Amino acid sequence: MNRQGMLILAVLGVGAVIGAPFAIPAYITQLSFLWLMVLFALTWDIMGGQMGYNSFGNIFFFGIGAYVCAVIQRDAGLDWHVAFFIGMAAAAALGVIAAAILGSGMLGLRGQYFAIATLGLGIAGGEIASGWDYIGAGSGLVPPLYPGVLGAREMFFYFLFLVLAIICFFTLRRLYSGRFGLAINAIRDDEDKAESMGLHTTRYKTIAWCVSAFFLAMAGAGAGNMIGFIDPRDVAFAGLTFGVWMVLMAILGGKGTLWGPVLGAAIFHITQELFWTYLLGWQRVALGLLIIVIVVFFPTGILGWVRERYPEKFGQAVDAEAQGAAMGEKAEP
């Protein structure tokens, strides 16, 4: 594709995402959720895909974000917008601090230990939140209502999540293309070697988790308000829905790629909205089955499969020589 074609495509894309809520206002909440899903998949992929550290407890930061923001909105007594954005900033800050503290201890752990530790983390979050009276305990927390006119609320959250997802995407693109991306990929490929080459692996791992937590906490702050009710186990620390989905979406699209999680999130969300009601409660069974099938039979995901098939299309994203070596010299120009 030439430069002009790319530009046209980009303009069309921007037009579509901005115009979508006006064109199909009935689906605006679903569209907002789509961007939330993109955020989930992208943030999971930082650890799970690019760094090879399966985290089953990233939802922990989402929950922290949701609660921190809602508590500030409840207790600050400020104008809704001011309180919301202060709450969001505080959520992001606390998410990063939590990731840094937990990470400095837990991320010295190697992959398998880390994976199970995170599995416990998400559950522990839900358990603690549902026992803590200050944040509403088991009966949850209701953030203050959005003050605008009818319909403005949905618009606000659509653009909030759109902007968040776009910022997240470009931040990650910037990070992956530099030293940070190389470092975390090196950790995925061989952590011992990376460390013996002088890479501060624990530091990089912690930073990666902080980035993940930063966006997840902000997403949580927004999502708590968008959903309008923060239940400790079903919304904030929803390990069985959001927590599993983020894994599935990232591996479905292709873990370890930038566009893969976006694609996976879009496909998953659309299929879920269209067909899942027909499964009548068997959705979660299908979810588990889908994870098994993808991991066992399509471990590279959709985008990974396309990349293996047409490596030359990825010439810009991947070093041609390395690609050729990896793909058995298929990519000879």
Partner 1 sequence: MDNVLILVNQPVIFLQVAIDGILFGSILALVAYGMALVWGVMKVINIAQGEFVMLGGYVALKFADAGLSPLWAVPAATVILFAVGWILYWLVVRWVVDKDIFISLLATFGLSIFLQQIVNQIFSADVRTAESGLVSRSFLDDRLVVAEIKVLAFVLAAIVGGILWVFLARSRLGQAIRATAQNARAARIMGVDTNHVYAMTFGLNAAICGGAGALVAMTWVIHPYLGLSYLVRSFMIVVVAGLGNLPGVIVAGLGLGAAENFAGFVFGAEYQAAFIFSLLVVILVWRNWRLGRQRRYLK
Give the interface with partner 1 as residue ranges (CB under 8 A): 48, 52-54, 56, 102, 105-106, 108-109, 111-113, 115-117, 119-121, 123-124, 127-128, 131, 240, 244, 247, 251, 281-282, 284-285, 287-292, 294-297, 299
Q: How far is the CB of 4 from partner 1 (least distance, A)?
A: 41
Question: Tokens representing 223?
Answer: 């999502």
Closer residue to partner 1 in complex, CB, 84/268? 268
Q: How far is the CB of 123 from partner 1 (least distance, A)?
A: 5
Instruction: Tally the C-alpha atoms within 13 A of residue 24's C-alpha that lie toward its C-beta.
Output: 9
Q: How far is the CB of 268 from partner 1 (least distance, A)?
A: 14
Q: With contact defined as beta carbons under 8 Å apart, do 123 and 63 qualify? A: no
d(CA 109, CA 90): 28
Q: How far is the CB of 175 from partner 1 (least distance, A)?
A: 21
Q: With contact defined as beta carbons under 8 Å apart, do 92 and 218 qualify? A: yes
Closer residue to partner 1 in complex, CB, 116/326? 116
Can you spell out the DSSP letters for 273-284?
HHHGGGGTT-HH
Q: With contact defined as beta carbons under 8 Å apart, do 21 and 154 qualify? A: yes
Question: Tokens representing 92?
Answer: 């992001």
Closer residue to partner 1 in complex, CB, 123/164? 123
Closer residue to partner 1 in complex, CB, 109/326? 109
Closer residue to partner 1 in complex, CB, 60/156? 60
Q: How far is the CB of 6 from partner 1 (least distance, A)?
A: 34
Q: φ and ψ at 141, to 5 degrees? A: -135, 135
